[in-house]
């Protein structure tokens, strides 16, 4: 559709993406919307307005997005569905930092229900909201907004952004997205913990020795150098994705799965976290793979962390003082996100060679749960061998096809006004407090950035950190301890 051409009927839901020519829109948002179309979750009059600065025509935009959708779809690509999907999309070329440009939106009436996705840097959140407001756009209907992390570049900035958005959007209409919460196995953590007496009854410091959470990536920063230079692993992964996972692993049982009850318990966790030790690193070169400092749009002397590992503990509650280790990094040897809950040694001498029982929750790329424990070695009287019970959820084709990708699940929830998997402001604020505590510790203790070769396990200092406590990092498939 061309500018100046008025749209006729008022759609029931208009989903507007600011930043529609960015990586996130191509890789995640549009494929997720295509999946929802495939599953018949988009009403016929559902409209997707893609706002971008680039001067594309509608046809050019559709040409650009098609290969992305073909590549990312978890279903077999279906021409007819794709064709029907493109009917929902309108590309709108607009310089969203220019207040006058918002006049353009007159040609695109809002719907009864309007959801905006700010897939742009937080510095633009305020200007876009103000533009929408000043153009009179926010007057009729419901208007909600989804914000991508980081929600600011510091705690002070995040507070300021939040205050300014509150001028235009009701607090309950501001959805902070952390896509890890949409992942199937992250959702499963609470189910595993609270639907099994076996686990619920032992989830305390009397029985759990330590907890390790790893989110390792093999990718580097690719084309996102300028963003990453502001974020680093601490703001990009640690203070949000890893902290969220950790809060699910350690929170006390909520009185219901209702979002208010859940948030309450998550807040208790985040308000009670104490940071003990940390290690930061940055990937160096390996063979033909360049170092972080040689990446596009990265300062050749950059001190940004592409790896972070921390030890923390809770100062209160059933898991008080249990060491919790979190680590994340780019350009590591393997892509794997998993949780290890390591139980204390049994402490009796009836049997020889007893090992620690370990519960592993695999988040990605494999999804599953395994438990390693002790059993008698055949042919012996009192010698123990480790055995493993293993459930691989993603090995079942049907499960793979039926598991919605994180963004798909979260967008679907947002379209249905279900904010349960979005992060409310108090949690965002506490996460920023944690992030700042990490940064302050680095400064105060002069913690040096360790350069690790790409495609390795990360800095040796991170191994040393656990060694000092008498532990070591368990790899994903490592059986016992
Ligand atoms: C994003 C980070 O939030 O999560 C990226 O900005 C990171 O740097 C990505 O690569 C990892 O997400 P996933 O779903 O691939 O684990």
Domain ranges of the chain: 13-176, 184-403+422-467
399 falls in which pLDDT band (50, 70, 90)? confident
252 falls in which pLDDT band (50, 70, 90)? very high
Average pLDDT over residues 464-481: 90
pLDDT, tens only, 68-84: 999 999 888 999 999 99
> Going by CA atoms, what residue is nearest to atom 4 of ligand 1?
237
Query: 177 C-alpha to center of ligand 1: Å?
Result: 12
Alpha-carbon distance 422 to 172, whole Å?
A: 11
Average pLDDT over residues 433-457: 97
Task: Decide which of 136 and 423 is more confident.
Answer: 423
Query: 219 C-alpha to center of ligand 1: Å?
Result: 10
Among 9-23, 112-126, 233-247, 252-266, the least confident range: 9-23
- Which atom of ligand 1 is nearest the CA belonging to 219? 10
| Best residue among 185, 236, 306, 339 to mutate for probing ligand 1, ranked by most atoms within 8 Å of CB | 236
Task: Decide which of 42 and 349 is more confident.
Answer: 42
> Going by CA atoms, what residue is nearest to atom 15 of ligand 1?
217
Q: Is the dihedral of CA 178, 183, 185, 188 positive or negative?
A: positive
Find all residues with CB under 8 Å of 418, minimum gap 6, and list them. none
pLDDT at res. 480: 65
447 exposure class (CB count in 10 Å sphere: 0-12, 13-18, 19+): middle
| Best residue among 237, 305, 308, 365 to mutate for probing ligand 1, ranked by most atoms within 8 Å of CB | 237
Task: Decide which of 480 and 143 is more confident.
Answer: 143
83 carries an active-site annotation? no
Enter the CATH code of domain 184-403+422-467.
3.30.360.10
pLDDT at res. 9: 57
pLDDT at res. 481: 67
- Tokens 């840097």 appear where? 121
Query: 247-254: which pairs have CB atoms within 8 A and are 24 or more residues apart?
Result: 248/186, 248/189, 248/190, 249/189, 249/193, 249/211, 249/213, 249/339, 249/341, 250/211, 250/314, 250/317, 250/319, 250/324, 252/317, 252/318, 253/193, 253/194, 253/200
> Going by CA atoms, what residue is nearest to atom 9 of ligand 1?
237
Among 114-123, 165-174, 344-353, 447-456, the least confident range: 344-353
Query: 166 C-alpha to center of ligand 1: Å?
Result: 28
The answer on pLDDT for 6 being more than 80 is no
7 falls in which pLDDT band (50, 70, 90)? very low
> Going by CA atoms, what residue is nearest to atom 5 of ligand 1?
236
> Going by CA atoms, what residue is nearest to atom 13 of ligand 1?
180
Q: Classify domain 13-176 at the CATH topology level.
A: Rossmann fold (3.40.50)
pLDDT at res. 3: 35
- Which atom of ligand 1 is nearest the CA belonging to 241? 3
Contact 474, 481 (CB under 8 A): yes
Give the DSSP per-residue string, 47-86.
EEEEEESS---HHHHHHHHHHHHHHH-SSPP-HHHHHHHH
Q: Taking the chain, what is the end-to-end CA distance rounded to the nearest angstrom?
A: 62
Task: Report CA-CA distances (Å) from 372 to 364, 366, 391.
Answer: 19, 17, 12
Average pLDDT over residues 164-190: 95
The answer on pLDDT for 158 being more than 50 is yes
Average pLDDT over residues 407-427: 95
> What value does the mean pLDDT of the chain take?
93
241, 289, 356, 433: the catalytic one is: 241
102 falls in which pLDDT band (50, 70, 90)? confident
pLDDT at res. 8: 45
Query: 181 C-alpha to center of ligand 1: Å?
Result: 12
pLDDT at res. 347: 81
Indicate the pairing of strand 174-176 with strand 208-216: unpaired
Share of the chain above pLDDT 90, in %: 81
Share of the chain above pLDDT 70, in %: 97
The answer on pLDDT for 10 being more than 80 is no
Average pLDDT over residues 116-121: 94
Query: 302 C-alpha to center of ligand 1: Å?
Result: 21
pLDDT, tens only, 274-324: 999 999 999 999 999 999 999 999 999 999 999 999 999 999 999 999 999
- Ligand 1, CB cutoff 6 Å, lining residues: 217, 236
457 falls in which pLDDT band (50, 70, 90)? very high
Average pLDDT over residues 439-464: 97
């Amino acid at each position: 559709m061309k500018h100046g051409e008025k749209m006729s009927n008022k759609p029931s839901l208009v989903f507007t993406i600011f930043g529609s020519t960015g990586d996130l829109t191509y890789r995640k948002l549009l494929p997720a919307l295509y999946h929802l179309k495939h599953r018949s979750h988009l009403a016929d009059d559902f409209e997707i307005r893609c706002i971008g600065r680039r001067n594309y025509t509608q046809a050019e935009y559709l040409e650009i997005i098609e290969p992305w959708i073909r590549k990312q779809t978890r279903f077999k690509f279906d021409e007819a569905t794709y064709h029907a999907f493109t009917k929902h999309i309108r590309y709108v070329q607009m310089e969203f930092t220019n207040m006058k440009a918002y006049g353009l939106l007159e040609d695109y009436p809002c719907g009864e229900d309007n959801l905006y996705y700010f897939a742009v840097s937080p510095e633009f959140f305020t200007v876009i909201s103000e533009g929408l407001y000043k153009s009179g756009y926010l007057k009729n209907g419901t208007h909600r907004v989804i914000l991508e992390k980081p929600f600011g570049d510091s705690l002070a900035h995040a507070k300021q952004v939040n205050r300014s958005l509150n001028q235009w959007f009701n607090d309950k209409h501001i959805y902070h997205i952390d896509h890890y919460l949409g992942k199937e196995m992250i959702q499963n953590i609470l189910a595993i913990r609270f639907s099994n007496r076996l686990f619920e009854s032992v989830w305390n410091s009397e029985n759990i020795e330590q907890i390790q959470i790893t989110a390792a990536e093999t990718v580097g920063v690719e084309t996102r150098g300028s963003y990453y230079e502001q974020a680093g692993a601490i703001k990009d992964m640690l203070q949000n994705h890893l902290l969220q996972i950790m809060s699910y692993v350690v929170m006390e049982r909520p009185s219901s799965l209702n979002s208010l009850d859940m948030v309450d318990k998550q807040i208790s966790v985040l308000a009670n976290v104490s940071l003990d030790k940390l290690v930061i690193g940055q990937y160096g070169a390996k063979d033909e793979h360049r170092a972080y400092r040689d990446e596009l749009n990265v300062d050749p002397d950059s001190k940004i962390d592409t790896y972070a590992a921390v030890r923390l503990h809770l100062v209160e509650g059933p898991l008080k003082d249990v060491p919790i280790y979190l680590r994340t990094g780019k350009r590591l040897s393997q892509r794997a996100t998993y949780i290890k809950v390591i139980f204390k040694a049994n402490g009796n001498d009836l049997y020889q060679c007893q090992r620690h029982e370990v519960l592993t929750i695999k988040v990605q790329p494999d999804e599953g749960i395994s438990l390693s424990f002790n059993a008698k070695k055949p042919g012996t009287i009192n010698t123990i061998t480790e055995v493993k019970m293993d459930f691989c959820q993603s090995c079942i084709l049907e499960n793979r096809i039926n598991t919605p990708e994180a963004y798909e699940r979260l967008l679907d929830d947002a379209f249905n006004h279900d904010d349960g998997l979005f992060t409310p402001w108090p949690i965002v604020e506490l996460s920023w407090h944690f992030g700042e505590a990490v940064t302050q510790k680095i400064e105060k203790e002069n913690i040096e950035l360790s350069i690790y070769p790409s495609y390795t396990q990360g800095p040796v200092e991170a191994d040393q950190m656990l060694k000092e406590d008498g532990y070591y990092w368990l790899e994903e498939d490592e059986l016992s301890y």
